[in-house]
């Protein structure tokens, strides 16, 4: 979509797919994270992995996505401090639940520090301190959960970009996180509107300056042209996580006899990259679901995937509530 173009019609199937696709990708990638289970080319939701998740269960990626989606359904505009407080408390509530078997390093440090209940301001303050102290806060934990941020702003891409940065900065203050989340959410917005694979570069005009746009243009080019294996070792880094997910989507052929089969094929390609498999597949799954719709996801997965406080069906229902 061109900059400023309005969304004329919303497909509920693709709206639901943006959240359900992320959850399905997460649960599909769980067993293979960090090589815990050998991957043979076709993912199975058998659970396990390095953190011992039950079969069909999602991980921290979707637990945090759910907290954001819940706040979006309740508040609409995620830039409001009240909405951000609800997100912060959602993260903290999940972190202290028995379902929290894993949490990324940056987010875990933040949630341990702020306690429960907490506020968005407390989380932001810690995130800034973390960034100033280490200078290394560009993990993939903001991007894996970002899909719900696209949904309240289908007709307002500028507000979408603001919200993507604001939500990312609760735990990940490095600007690369906000930039990656904004690009991915703009792509989800376009996919929901058109039902086609978006041009990730169409989001570049919304970024801050020429150097930032040039950086991301080069990274997108790499994702589209380089071997998928290039994106394995460092995909805990938000830039490489985005590249891995985009490479899996773009470099996976669309079957001529069954175009919707691209969703499953691309998720398998994302897992096949290796390393942080649940997160790369969750990121890819959110955009694939927005492209192809919830109906492209195998029924067994839609019916059985679950996690902290919800199910895949519940996520789809929340997506519908957000868009209205």
- pLDDT tens, 134-169? 888 999 999 999 999 999 999 999 999 999 999 999
Quote the CA–CA distance of 152 and 255 in Å, as a whole number.
32
| Domain ranges within the chain, ordered by starting residue | 12-323
Average pLDDT over residues 187-194: 97
Q: Which two tokens stand for residue 290?
A: 């927005």
pLDDT surpasses 60 at 275 = yes
Neighbouring C-alpha atoms within 13 Å toward the C-beta of 154:
25
Residue 196 Cα to chain centre, angstroms: 18
For position 216, what pLDDT does the model report? Answer: 98
**In angstroms, rounded to a whole number, what is the distance separating the alpha carbons of residues 133 and 127?**
10
- For residue 135, the model assigns a pLDDT of 85
Over residues 112-135, the mean pLDDT reads: 96
Average per-residue pLDDT for the chain? 96
Q: What is the pLDDT of residue 174?
A: 97
> Contact, 215 vs 234, CB < 8 A?
no
What would the mean pLDDT of 46-59 be, rounded to a whole number? 98
* Dihedral over alpha carbons 315, 316, 318, 321 (to 10 degrees): 180
With a pLDDT cut of 70, the percent of the chain lying above it is: 97
The two three-digit tokens of residue 217, written as one number: 């243009």
Q: Which helix (H) or strand (E) holds 14?
A: helix 12-29
Q: Quick check: 8 pLDDT over 60?
A: no
Cβ atoms of 131 and 137 within 8 Å: the answer is yes
> How is residue 186 written in tokens?
């703009």
Residue 5 has pLDDT above 80, yes or no: no
The reported pLDDT for the residue numbered 136 is 85
pLDDT-based confidence at residue 259 (cuts at 50, 70, 90) = very high
Which sign, positive or negative, has the C-alpha torsion 73, 75, 80, 82? negative
pLDDT range class, residue 7, cuts 50, 70, 90 = low
pLDDT at 309: 96
Domain 12-323 in this protein, CATH class:
mainly alpha
- Which pLDDT belongs to residue 4? 59
pLDDT > 60? residue 14: yes
Stretch 214-232: mean pLDDT: 98
pLDDT of 251 above 80: yes
Average pLDDT over residues 51-72: 98
């Amino acid at each position: 979509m061109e900059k400023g173009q309005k969304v004329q019609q919303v497909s509920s199937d693709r709206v639901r797919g943006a959240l359900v696709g992320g959850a399905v990708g997460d649960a599909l990638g769980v067993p293979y994270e960090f090589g815990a289970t050998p991957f043979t080319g076709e993912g199975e939701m058998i659970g396990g992995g390095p953190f011992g998740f039950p079969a069909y269960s999602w991980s921290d990626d979707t637990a945090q996505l759910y907290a954001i989606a819940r706040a979006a359904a309740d508040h609409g505009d995620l830039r409001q401090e009240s909405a951000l407080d609800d997100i912060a408390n959602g993260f903290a509530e999940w972190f202290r639940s028995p379902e929290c078997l894993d949490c990324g390093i940056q987010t875990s440090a933040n949630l341990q520090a702020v306690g429960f209940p907490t506020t968005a301001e407390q989380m932001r303050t810690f995130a800034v301190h973390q960034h100033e102290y280490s200078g290394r806060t560009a993990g993939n934990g903001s991007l894996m959960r970002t899909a719900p941020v696209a949904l309240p702003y289908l007709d307002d891409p500028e507000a979408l970009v603001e919200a993507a940065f604001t939500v990312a900065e609760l735990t990940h203050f490095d600007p690369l996180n906000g930039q990656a989340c904004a690009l991915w959410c703009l792509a989800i917005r376009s996919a929901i509107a058109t039902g086609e694979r978006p041009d990730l570069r169409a989001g570049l005009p919304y970024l801050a300056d020429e150097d930032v746009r040039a950086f991301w243009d080069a990274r997108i080019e790499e994702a589209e042209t380089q071997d998928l294996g290039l994106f394995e070792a460092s995909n805990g880094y938000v830039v490489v996580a985005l590249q891995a997910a985009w490479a899996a989507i773009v470099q996976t052929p669309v079957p001529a006899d069954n175009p919707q089969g691209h969703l499953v094929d691309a998720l398998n390609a994302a897992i096949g990259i290796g390393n942080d498999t649940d997160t790369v597949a969750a990121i890819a799954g959110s955009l694939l679901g927005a492209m192809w719709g919830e109906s492209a996801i195998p029924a067994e997965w839609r019916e059985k995937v679950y996690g902290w406080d919800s199910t895949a069906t519940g996520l789809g229902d929340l997506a519908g509530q957000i868009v209205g």
